[in-house]
Structure 1
Amino acid sequence: MSNYEDYPAVAIIVLNWNDSKNTIACIESLQRIIYPKFKIYIIDNNSEDSSIENIRKIFPYIEIYNSGSNLGWAGGNNYGIKLAKLHGYNYFYLINPDIRVEPKTLSALVEAIDAEDVAAVGSVVISYSNPDWLEFAGSQLTSESGFSRQTSMKKSEFVFDGPDIDVPELKGCSFLITEKGFDKIGYFDERYFLNYDETDWCFRARSNNMRCVFSKKSICFHIGAQTFGGVSSPLYRYFIARNRIFFARKNLDKKSLIFAWRCMAWEIKSVLLGRSIEKRGLKVKGALLLSLFLSLRDAIFNRHGNCPPLVRKINKV
């Protein structure tokens, strides 16, 4: 693209919930991108702290929209996309507040999405704390389970040059979607609330004969699971275990659903018998077990949406 008019205008949607520190740092990194036409939308999921005031103090010219309640990742991004569509945008870059972009991150995504059958394009995701490790270097389907599996590897093992790759799923912390994708596929399923929502959307895209593409040239850095308190926290384990089963029920076959239930059993067993959990103390072990049993209960009764309040309470452990 050589002329300014040739660049599509992109709505950058940053979802905040009680995490103004990361959101502010994310915005600072976005202001260094070289893409010429974009607008930043801050969608606040009804934070319980002083997030909105903190962000406005640093960026008084950026509009912040309060969704009115904690809608989760899926609901919050749906809210932001609908708002941006009303303002005339048809390209939507979804980015989590714990992401830091490079100057060419968005340009590479827009370049890769310029095909009629491409629904979404995702970035290479590098660990912020360990820049030699790629958290997301693509994904592939596994015949044994029917699920897709994200690829992680050392940075030295990855070839950044080369064509974009079709993948079964993208990592939702940094990816670009077009209005034509939403028109054909629909919005994110808000029943997930957190986790597996973007995977569900990518699988639905494939079932509608649209592609999800992984761009090797779009690079970002991920701090990781900030709103959860880490990937080993009770809150994170609750959503992963419950939503894995919901995802299999909705998108996969009986064999895959059995695999999802076996994963639930394995998670409970690993907390009961795993040595790494023992080192963290009985209090943490008890919190994780309670969270997983609540996840098991809700999966059995097919309950969705936000987690029970007790899960958030024990997550503070």
Structure 2
Amino acid sequence: MTLPTLGVVIVTFNAADVVLDCLESLLAADGVRLDIVVVDNASNDTTIADLRDWAAGTRPYTVPDTMPFALGVAPKPVPLQVSGPRGPQNSGHHLTLIETGLNGGFAAGVNRGLAELAARPGIDRFWILNPDSAVPPATPRAFATCAAGDFSLLGGRVLYYDKPGMIQIDGGTINRNTGVTGNISLFRKHAETAAPSVADMDFITGASMVASRTFYNAAGPMPEEYFLYYEEVDWAQRCKSKPLAYCPEAIIYHRAGASIGSPTQDRLASPFSIYFKHRARLMFMRRYFPARLPIALVYSLAKAAQLALRGHRREAVTLLLASFNLPPPAHVRAKLSEDAARRAFAKHRVKI
């Protein structure tokens, strides 16, 4: 029996503490062949060394006690190749590592992986997956076989890794006055929440998003100018001729903000996250809803005031700098290399 094939793109940056959990869970997938491409955006931790040692079998892997589902350990070694046509493989899944040598942002890494997969025949669906995710064995086949019609982007349910009964997102919405995005089903109980209506969705989260080849060919690569955040929101605006879709059986567990400090139910967003998210929000509004930009800026002022009144003055200042396309504060800028900063700000007239 010929198994369905699903391409997978995972972009890593300093993901040594999470990426092996993600890859082990993918290798446990049933009833599907996965063509996995890991694109590393110049990690300066042990991500690359750990991945190579893990694949070679010289770095033992132990399933963490916190894993939300039963998971075995894949036999090693796992063949690991560089960019190019598929090489020989010992199992149904295939793993490629691409080292970009530059942190060009999330979308730049995704696009490198998409281009790699698009050059390989027989792959009609490309799954963009965060490295801080864990994937139940049935989810990849669900994404590969979901009868979604002629869709553009396909999503599923994202649950919190540390609270596996709680939903992080079922799909995204956009406030067209402020640019603020929302998570459908946020904080609801998984067992008690029905699948959402696709009609309510404006985009699919970039943490777990499947693009069809027809959409990719028509819409082109993911926009890279945002650097972080809103890339998938913008991309979804290009799919007017093809609908979004949802696969109820496709579930992942997500550690939410593990790499860049995105907010969670129990934690305020980091200044780094705040800067790039609000900068991206205003970029999105300038592109798609320019007449409502004053409303979006009023929202920024109100949100900054709220943060300041709660004692988060550094975060409030960061939000305002981002909203008015001003250079980031030193503590945010310090987290980027010189090359990454040039990529992040080159198109926005921001002096670094």
- Normalised by the length of structure 2, the TM-score is 0.75
What's 2:73 paired with? none
What's 1:76 paired with? 109
In 2, the alpha carbon distance for the partners of 1:246 and 1:42 equals 28
Task: State percent identity of aligned pairs.
Answer: 23
2:10 to 11, 14, 37: 14
> What count of residue pairs does the alignment treat as equivalent?
290
Q: CA deviation at 1:91?
A: 2.2
In 2, the alpha carbon distance for the partners of 1:215 and 1:264 equals 35
Q: Report the 3-state secondary structure (helix = DSSP H, G, I; strand = E; otherwise coil) of the residue aligned with 1:214.
A: strand
Contact 2:154 2:247 in 1 (8 A): yes
Contact 2:171 2:204 in 1 (8 A): yes
Task: Decide whether aligned partners of structure 1 residues 69 and 239 sit closer, same or farther in structure 2, where only a CA change above 3 A counts.
Answer: same
Contact 1:113 1:120 in 2 (8 A): no
Task: Decide whether aligned partners of structure 1 residues 142 and 270 sit closer, same or farther in structure 2, where only a CA change above 3 A counts.
Answer: closer
2:247 to 200, 207, 215: 215
Contact 1:93 1:175 in 2 (8 A): yes
Q: CA deviation at 1:145?
A: 5.3
> 1:260-275, aligned counterparts within 5 Å?
260-274=296-310
In 2, the alpha carbon distance for the partners of 1:314 and 1:41 equals 26
1:125 to 152, 158, 168: 158
2:270 to 224, 228, 233: 233
Q: Report the 3-state secondary structure (helix = DSSP H, G, I; strand = E; otherwise coil) of the residue aligned with 2:238.
A: helix
| Cα distance per residue 1:76-104 (max 9 Å; x no partner) | 00011111222334421110011111112
Contact 2:10 2:129 in 1 (8 A): yes
What's 2:27 paired with? 31
What's 2:209 paired with? 175
Q: CA deviation at 1:4?
A: 1.3
1:86 to 103, 106, 119: 119
In 2, the alpha carbon distance for the partners of 1:68 and 1:146 equals 33
Q: Any gaps of 5 or more consecutive residues in structure 1? A: 278-284
Output the amino acid matched with 2:2: Y
Contact 1:164 1:213 in 2 (8 A): no
| Cα distance per residue 1:25-83 (max 9 Å; x no partner) | 11011112114221211110011122111111001323311112101111100011111
> 1:55-204, aligned counterparts within 5 Å?
55-60=51-56, 61-62=79-80, 63-88=96-121, 89-112=123-146, 114-116=148-150, 118-140=151-173, 142=175, 149-151=182-184, 152=186, 153-160=188-195, 165-166=198-199, 167-204=201-238
In 2, the alpha carbon distance for the partners of 1:71 and 1:99 equals 21
In 2, the alpha carbon distance for the partners of 1:164 and 1:113 equals 16
Task: Decide whether aligned partners of structure 1 residues 14 and 164 sit closer, same or farther in structure 2, where only a CA change above 3 A counts.
Answer: same
In 2, the alpha carbon distance for the partners of 1:141 and 1:272 equals 25
Task: Decide whether aligned partners of structure 1 residues 295 and 127 sit closer, same or farther in structure 2, where only a CA change above 3 A counts.
Answer: same
| Cα distance per residue 1:213-236 (max 9 Å; x no partner) | 122221111101111134210011
Task: Decide whether aligned partners of structure 1 residues 146 and 289 sit closer, same or farther in structure 2, where only a CA change above 3 A counts.
Answer: closer
Task: Decide whether aligned partners of structure 1 residues 146 and 50 sit closer, same or farther in structure 2, where only a CA change above 3 A counts.
Answer: closer
Contact 2:159 2:253 in 1 (8 A): yes
Output the amino acid matched with 1:14: I
Task: Decide whether aligned partners of structure 1 residues 137 and 169 sit closer, same or farther in structure 2, where only a CA change above 3 A counts.
Answer: same
In 1, the alpha carbon distance for the partners of 2:32 and 2:334 equals 44
- Runs of 4 or more off by more than 6 Å in structure 1? none
In 2, the alpha carbon distance for the partners of 1:113 and 1:147 equals 31
Q: Does 1:4 align with 2:41?
A: no
Contact 2:32 2:144 in 1 (8 A): no
Greater helix percent: which structure? Answer: 1
Task: Decide whether aligned partners of structure 1 residues 164 and 57 sit closer, same or farther in structure 2, where only a CA change above 3 A counts.
Answer: farther
Output the amino acid matched with 1:130: K
Q: Report the 3-state secondary structure (helix = DSSP H, G, I; strand = E; otherwise coil) of the residue aligned with 1:204.
A: coil
1:313 to 318, 334, 341: 334
In 1, the alpha carbon distance for the partners of 2:273 and 2:177 equals 25
In 1, the alpha carbon distance for the partners of 2:178 and 2:324 equals 23
Contact 1:148 1:169 in 2 (8 A): no
Q: Does 1:250 align with 2:298?
A: no
What's 1:280 paired with? none
